[in-house]
């Protein structure tokens, strides 16, 4: 089915609310997830999964949604849509990253998990999965994703720092400190480890007035005060 009628594809009415559309998308994405199928059915599921994502991208954006023609205005005849090219795991990851940047965590998680199933050797896929899970309020599962990411890329200081923060939040101080130390060894100049620059006020504290800037000037001023000649 073509996403030319996204409402029909998502099984919602054109007047559906944003929450209803999101709920329908998550339900259908789970139903048509390609990992649930094999053989010829898998290819059909992949096509439906792609169409669902395209339809959801169209109708979740109020601006793009308002530009859609009403269902009754659909042309009677239209040229057949070209067959989509096979998408790589990187394609799914890029789309998941876009969804994450738009704070659409449900879509981001579904897409990045599919990318991982296609290629489970990319550390950045697991990092994005961890970030999404963390944003969804599941830090323990996020930690597992980060651990896999570190197994694939042990020199990822940013992920070590993310883990340290979760460990600290969970009350695991020793693990938090160990993660921070490991990150410091990898990236000693990371912004996390840079001391804040002192403010102008702080820099000025303890400084002598300009008229008493040297020891000779200080001694001369003191002698003048003692002898009444200053």
30 domain-assigned: yes
120 domain-assigned: no
Give the pLDDT confidence of 98-150 residue by residue, as tens digits: 999 999 988 898 889 888 988 889 999 999 999 999 999 999 999 999 999 99
Average pLDDT, rounded, for the chain:
80
More confident: 73 or 45: 45
19 domain-assigned: yes
CA distances from 198 to 181, 193, 195 (A): 24, 15, 9
Cα 7 to chain center, whole Å?
28
Q: Which range has the worst mean pLDDT, 6-10, 92-96, 174-178, 208-212?
A: 208-212
Query: 47 pLDDT band (50/70/90 cuts)?
Result: confident
Instruction: Check residue 159 and give its pLDDT.
Output: 95
| Pairwise CA distance, residues 46 & 50, whole Å | 6
- Cβ 30 vs Cβ 48: under 8 Å: no
Tokens 């007047």 label which residue?
Answer: 15
pLDDT at 212 over 90: no
Q: Of 137, 122, 126, 193, which Cα lies nearest the Cα of 164? A: 193
CA distances from 98 to 55, 213, 224 (A): 15, 58, 73
| Pairwise CA distance, residues 215 & 76, whole Å | 95
| Pairwise CA distance, residues 180 & 153, whole Å | 16
Q: Of 46, 84, 45, 61, which Cα lies nearest the Cα of 6? A: 61
Domain that holds residue 29: 6-66
Specify the number of domains making up the chain: 1
Instruction: Check residue 63 and give its pLDDT.
Output: 66
H or E stretch at 99: helix 89-101
| Pairwise CA distance, residues 57 & 69, whole Å | 16
| Percent residues over pLDDT 90 in the chain | 38
103: left (phi over 0), alpha (psi -120 to 50) or beta: left
Query: 83 pLDDT band (50/70/90 cuts)?
Result: very low
CATH number, domain of 51, equals: 1.10.287.110
Q: Is the torsion defined by CA of 145, 146, 147, 150 positive or negative?
A: positive
Q: What is the pTM of this model?
A: 0.57
122 domain-assigned: no
25 domain-assigned: yes
| Pairwise CA distance, residues 83 & 122, whole Å | 28
- Cβ 128 vs Cβ 93: under 8 Å: yes
């Amino acid at each position: 089915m073509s996403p030319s009628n996204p409402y029909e594809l998502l099984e919602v009415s054109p007047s559906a609310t944003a929450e209803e559309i999101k709920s329908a998308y998550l339900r259908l994405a789970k139903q048509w997830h390609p990992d649930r199928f094999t053989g010829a059915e898998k290819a059909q599921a992949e096509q439906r999964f792609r169409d669902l994502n395209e339809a959801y991208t169209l109708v979740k954006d109020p601006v793009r949604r308002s530009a859609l023609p009403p269902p009754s205005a659909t042309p009677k005849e239209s040229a057949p849509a070209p067959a989509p090219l096979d998408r790589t795991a990187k394609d799914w990851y890029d789309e998941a990253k876009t969804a994450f940047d738009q704070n659409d965590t449900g879509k981001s998680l579904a897409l990045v998990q599919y990318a991982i199933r296609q290629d489970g050797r990319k550390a950045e896929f697991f990092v994005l999965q961890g970030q999404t899970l963390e944003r969804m309020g599941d830090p323990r599962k996020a930690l597992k994703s980060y651990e896999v990411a570190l197994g694939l890329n042990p020199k990822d200081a940013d992920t070590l720092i993310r883990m340290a923060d979760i460990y600290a939040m969970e009350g695991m101080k020793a693990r938090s400190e160990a993660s921070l130390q490991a990150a410091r060894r990898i990236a000693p100049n990371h912004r996390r480890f840079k001391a804040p620059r002192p403010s102008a006020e702080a820099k000025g504290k303890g400084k002598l007035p300009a008229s008493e800037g040297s020891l000779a000037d200080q001694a001369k001023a003191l002698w003048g005060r003692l002898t009444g000649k200053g």
